[in-house]
Amino acid sequence: MNRKIGNLTLDSRVILAPMAGVTDRSFRTLCRHFGAAYVVTEMVSARALQFRDKKTARLMTLGEEERPAGIQLFGDDPAIMAQAAEKAMKFNPQLIDINMGCPAPKIANNGSGSALMKDPEKCGRMVEAVKNACDVPVTVKIRKGWDRNHVNFLEVAKICEQAGADAIALHARTRDQMYQPSADWNSIRQLKQAVSVPVIGNGDVTDAQSACRMLEETGCDFLMVGRGAMGNPWIFQQINVYLTESCRILPGPGIAERLVVMVRHIRALCEEKGENVGMREARKHVAWYLHGLRGAAGYRRRAGELCTLDDLDKLVEEVYRRYRDEEKREDA
């Protein structure tokens, strides 16, 4: 099976989706460690790049341990996007991804993200401009359409392919659906039949079994995991094992491993951004890691109050002590 996007050869079929506020360097590195074929940065504003914004530069900084990695750009002007791609290349990404799917009002209301789906010809011009500005594969991430009355993903995808896109990722919902209801995998199947470049399916992959179903039902070349990876970087390892070892189900991590990986993640986050900023951002990650545990509601409240790494260590000690005490009672 071909595992290439442009000239980039990948070692698996499952990719970490770009997510604002989530897929920073520490999380990308962790997901790559657990088997993501490649990772993509949080979306980067093409216009902000014109002003040499320090935060934007940090968003694009890639570590060797997370490669292959792509930089995702968003904007509403093909020329400015091309300039942004040129600047992004200084960070040596393995690919550039164009955001044509973000449903957030602050992005779409300014003509970027999913709003581009309303202007297929501009989508094509944008792909062509970015493609001419860099020498790495260019991918696009789209949605089914703007709303249920304007479902035009096939038109947009074909125009992007003709303009030079090396792969197309489809989040199988319209912009107005946001993240509900269930993703329409049939649209991914239709896209795969309509274009010759690799298709990346996205939407409702939450475990190894759903990943396998998406591949089988749609025929897509790769799949992208977003929310299913939050607090669960092991999902990439589980999917890879299931797909390559005759549907073997790899058990999820035990509580000790979960806590060790969580602390490793949060410490890397604080090292990257400083403890003050890092711990504020860590709160959501800790809540995700502890989701599903007995007493999770209380842990989420505690997670929302974390301010220091010492606070995290105390919470981890409490969680593990409670788990160990429960084990002893069950064995008695």
Of 51-60, 75-84, 130-139, 180-189, give the lowest mean pLDDT range: 51-60
- Return the residue matching tokens 């490649």: 38
Q: Name the H helices within the chain.
A: 25-33, 46-49, 54-60, 78-88, 105-108, 120-133, 153-163, 185-194, 208-218, 235-244, 255-273, 275-289, 296-303, 309-331
> Length of the chain, please?
332
* pLDDT single digits (tens) 265-311: 999 999 999 999 999 999 999 999 999 888 888 999 999 999 999 99
Q: Which two tokens stand for residue 167?
A: 């792969």
At residue 257 the predicted structure's pLDDT band, cuts being 50, 70 and 90, is very high
* b/e per residue 102-132 (b: at least 16 CB within 10 A): bbeeebbeeebbbbbbbebebbbbbbbbbbe
* pLDDT single digits (tens) 200-246: 999 999 999 999 999 999 999 999 999 999 999 999 999 999 999 99
**How many angstroms from the chain centroid is the CA of residue 262?**
18
Residue 55 has a pLDDT of 84
* DSSP structure string for 247-260: T--PPPPPHHHHHH
Cα-based torsion angle of the residue sequence 207, 32, 191, 126 in order, rounded to the nearest 10 degrees: 140
Mind telling me the catalytic residues? 102
For residue 65, pLDDT over 90 is answered with yes
- Are the CB atoms for 46 and 84 separated by under 8 Å? yes
Share of the chain above pLDDT 90, in %: 88
At residue 315 the predicted structure's pLDDT band, cuts being 50, 70 and 90, is very high
Tell me how far apart the alpha carbons of residues 60 and 255 are, in angstroms, rounded to a whole number.
Answer: 33
* pLDDT single digits (tens) 181-195: 899 999 999 999 999
For residue 170, pLDDT over 80 is answered with yes
Mean pLDDT of 150-174: 97
At residue 2 the predicted structure's pLDDT band, cuts being 50, 70 and 90, is low
Specify the 3-state DSSP secondary structure of 213: helix
Residue 327 has a pLDDT of 72
CB-based burial label for 221 (10 Å; 0-12, 13-18, 19+): buried
Residue 52 has a pLDDT of 74
Q: What topology does CATH give the domain 4-244?
A: TIM Barrel (3.20.20)
The conformation of residue 151, written as its DSSP 8-state character, comes to: B
Tell me how far apart the alpha carbons of residues 236 and 15 are, in angstroms, rounded to a whole number.
Answer: 8
At residue 33 the predicted structure's pLDDT band, cuts being 50, 70 and 90, is very high
At residue 326 the predicted structure's pLDDT band, cuts being 50, 70 and 90, is confident
Question: Average model confidence (pLDDT) for the chain?
Answer: 95
Mean pLDDT of 46-71: 91
According to DSSP, the residues that pair with 138 across neighbouring strands are: 96
For residue 332, pLDDT over 90 is answered with no
Specify the 3-state DSSP secondary structure of 169: strand
Residue 123 has a pLDDT of 98
Residue 1 has a pLDDT of 60
Residue 331 has a pLDDT of 66
* pLDDT single digits (tens) 77-92: 999 999 999 999 999 9
255-331 CATH, one of 2.70.240.10, 1.10.10.10, 3.30.390.50, 1.10.1200.80: 1.10.1200.80
Could you tell me the residue ranges of all domains in the chain?
A: 4-244, 255-331
The conformation of residue 203, written as its DSSP 8-state character, comes to: S
According to DSSP, the residues that pair with 45 across neighbouring strands are: 74
